[in-house]
Amino acid sequence: MRFSLFLLYLLAVVNSLVLPLDFAAGRAASHESAVQSQPGFLQLIKEWIAIFSTREVASAIPRGSFESWLQEQEKISFESILQNIGGYGEFAQNVSIGAVIASPSQTRPNYFYQWTRDSALTVMSLVEYLDDHELQDYEFGLCGLVESYIENQYHVQRLANPSGTFEDLTGLGEPKFMANGEAFVDHWGRPQRDGPGLRVITVLGYLSLLTKYEGNFQHEFFTSHDDSFRFVYDEIVKPDLQYIVHHWASPGFDLWEEVNSLHLFTSLTQLKALKLGMTYALAYSDSEFYAVLTTAYNALNFFIQVDSGYKTGNLPFLIETPTLLLTGKRIGLDIASILASLRAHDVDDVGDALDIPFAVDDPVVLNTLTAMVNDMKYRYPINHNRLGFGTGFALGRYPEDVYDGYGTTEGNPWFIATASASELVYKILYKLYKYENDLYIPIGLREFYQPFFEFEIKQDMVVPFGSDEFHMVADGLIKYADSFMDVIREHVDNNGHMSEQFNKYSGFMEGAEDLTWSYSSCWSSMRWRNKVVKLMERS
Ligand code: NOJ
Ligand code: NOJ
């Protein structure tokens, strides 16, 4: 104990010596320049600390074996999401029923709020769990939980707030609310325009699930209406869709709440919401609105693919916020682009990859991962232990990040970012096996695929589904995806708890504790691993 305190002290001293040097130039340092700007001996001390401070104490979770850790962590992650939901969770005292707090942390930092984004994304995990269990869930009462989330959203949507009102829809861009359901009125980066679309995806996800398994709503709030599905569509989904129709072209703050502009994550998830909305408008013979949605969908799709600058001819990776690239403030790389691809595509829907750009196996998405990995393996000293193994690394939000979870010093790796990398690779594998597709490797993906081949990739290649070569690459890919999860295994605490970030020198967790979204993204990645392993075993 005393030894680790000493290490932390040493770390603080080293940090204070080095930080001003790293960021003195006030520029986005590439990894080379970041490394070179530090005097060699400080770099050495940091790496020494990084190696010696990885914890090796007895664990309540089976950290020693990857497979048994996965099993245990999957349960812990799922149950920890529930702990943060009002009316159910232990951590969510004095929280409105169905409200999801981002984290129980009320000071340093205060994340004890309901963010529209975090809530929608994490409740989606509950919907997916229900799907995996064919709506049969006696253990947690998840249908009731999801319904209380939807009911709570109905009320939150209607709250006047600093972004505006429900009447003119502007209030739907408000990013966060108090845990007790009141508006949050302090200064904040608002509006954030991804919330309504993410909520549409989750709410319609639940409606489709009920339809798929011929279930019905349980809560009176819904069953008191003649047609509870139609009520949800008219009163909750439609306003969000209208918001997107009116505001997709207007700037707003990004998902990291820092930059007022247009953003890939926002645009792509909005497009997905419009697509889902069109299906429902059609089913409900809401033809006028269907036409409105179609026009907006086409315009936004065109914007994303042609005018936005999210994909340029000059760079191999996606640009999350093109205006920042243009002003030279950032290089454009951001895990948000990968999150966008993951959340905007349903790999079980064959048509999705045609209707929504940047599918999980689109070369530009994979090259975004490659670029993130190439940057962050050097940027974060904890990754230096893993160099040379041809594996995954701890990833953060974006190279120029300076948010440390409490204030602004230096950016760290995040659980969400690291888990997303593995989810992407699991999903690519899943698609190959599910549709029995040959693996097509354009030469532009050489860097990503080369480690999985014994010979040098020199031109476009097709690896036939089921061939020996195919199995070899698939095996390599799953190991690659696992290696990102293995980073998470190393940095969760001894009870499988996850905060927002882990320190880039020491690996110790920092930022908001028990972050709901960390659990959800980790659980989601493990879910896709289970799905792909099942398919691989069968073939
Ligand atoms: C809090 C935000 O939630 C986080 O995303 C941001 O990086 C910091 N503030 C710093 O601006
Ligand atoms: C900061 C993150 O940047 C943002 O995306 C998130 O919504 C909030 N924290 C709450 O978790």
Query: Is the pLDDT reported for residue 222 higher than 50?
Result: yes
Name the token pair of 312. Answer: 């340029």
Query: Is the pLDDT reported for residue 13 higher than 60?
Result: no
- Ligand 1 is surrounded, with C-beta below 6 A, by 256-258, 403, 408
Residue 410 lies in a domain: yes
Answer whether 128's CB lies under 8 Å from 423's CB.
Answer: no
Q: Whose CA is nearest to atom 10 of ligand 1?
A: 403
Query: Is the pLDDT reported for residue 162 higher than 70?
Result: yes
The DSSP secondary structure of 254-298, one letter per residue, reads: -TTS--EE--HHHHHHHHHHHHHHHHHHHHTT-HHHHHHHHHHHH
Name the token pair of 219. Answer: 């809560």
Q: Whose CA is nearest to atom 7 of ligand 2?
A: 118
Q: Would the CB of 91 count as within 6 Å of ligand 2?
A: no
Residue 336 lies in a domain: no
Output DSSP code: residue 384. Answer: G
Point out the least confidently predicted range of 268-272, 376-380, 535-539.
Answer: 535-539
Name the token pair of 90. Answer: 């232990």
CA 371, 355, 230, 239 dihedral sign is: positive
Average pLDDT over residues 159-182: 98
pLDDT in tens, 470-519: 999 999 999 999 999 999 999 999 999 999 999 999 999 999 999 999 99
Q: What does the alpha-carbon distance between residue 474 and residue 14 come to, in Å, rounded to a whole number?
A: 42
| Contacts of the segment 227-234: beta carbons below 8 A, 24+ positions apart | 230/284, 232/150, 232/203, 232/207, 233/207, 233/280, 233/284
User: Per the omega criterion (within 30 degrees of 0), is the bond before 109 cis?
Assistant: yes
Q: What does the alpha-carbon distance between residue 501 and residue 107 come to, in Å, rounded to a whole number?
A: 16
pLDDT band at 44 (very low <50, low <70, confident <90, very high): low
Q: Would the CB of 72 count as within 6 Å of ligand 2?
A: no
The number of distinct structural domains making up the chain is: 1
Q: By three-state DSSP, how is residue 85 classified?
A: strand
Output DSSP code: residue 459. Answer: S
Range list of β-strands (E), 325-401 = none
Cβ neighbours of residue 467 under 8 Å, at least 6 residues apart? none
Is 254 among the residues known to form the active site? yes
Q: What does the alpha-carbon distance between residue 324 and residue 437 come to, in Å, rounded to a whole number?
A: 38
- Burial of residue 484 (CB within 10 Å: 0-12, 13-18, 19+) is buried
Residue 400 lies in a domain: yes
pLDDT at 518: 99
The phi-psi region of residue 94 (left if phi > 0; otherwise alpha if psi is between -120 and 50; otherwise beta) is left
Nearest ligand 2 atom to the CA of 500 is: 11
Residue carrying the six token digits 């110790």: 508
Residue 267 lies in a domain: no
pLDDT at 499: 98
Which numbered ligand comes closest to the C-alpha of 176?
2
Residue 463 lies in a domain: yes
pTM for the model stands at 0.90
Structural Rg of the chain based on CA atoms:
23
Query: Is the pLDDT reported for residue 54 higher than 90?
Result: no
Q: Would the CB of 255 count as within 6 Å of ligand 2?
A: yes
Q: Which range marks the domain in which residue 417 is found?
A: 379-538
Q: What does the alpha-carbon distance between residue 85 and residue 96 come to, in Å, rounded to a whole number?
A: 9
pLDDT band at 139 (very low <50, low <70, confident <90, very high): confident
Point out the least confidently predicted range of 163-177, 332-346, 387-401, 446-460.
Answer: 387-401
Which numbered ligand comes closest to the C-alpha of 120?
2
pLDDT in tens, 264-284: 999 999 999 999 999 999 999
Active-site option among 47, 257, 493, 510: 257
pLDDT band at 136 (very low <50, low <70, confident <90, very high): very high
Residue 530 lies in a domain: yes
At position 265, the amino acid (one-letter code) is F
Cβ neighbours of residue 306 under 8 Å, at least 6 residues apart? none
First-to-last C-alpha distance (Å) of the chain: 50
Is 137 among the residues known to form the active site? no
Query: Is the pLDDT reported for residue 299 higher than 90?
Result: yes
Rounded to whole angstroms, what are the CA distances from 519 to 103, 368, 420, 515?
A: 11, 23, 12, 7
Q: What does the alpha-carbon distance between residue 537 and residue 539 come to, in Å, rounded to a whole number?
A: 6
pLDDT at 137: 84
Point out the least confidently predicted range of 18-32, 89-103, 178-192, 293-307.
Answer: 18-32
Residue 66 lies in a domain: no
Query: Is the pLDDT reported for residue 15 higher than 70?
Result: no
Q: Whose CA is nearest to atom 1 of ligand 2?
A: 256
Residue 463 backbone phi and psi in degrees, to 5: -105, 110
Residue 159 lies in a domain: no
Range list of β-strands (E), 52-169 = 113-115
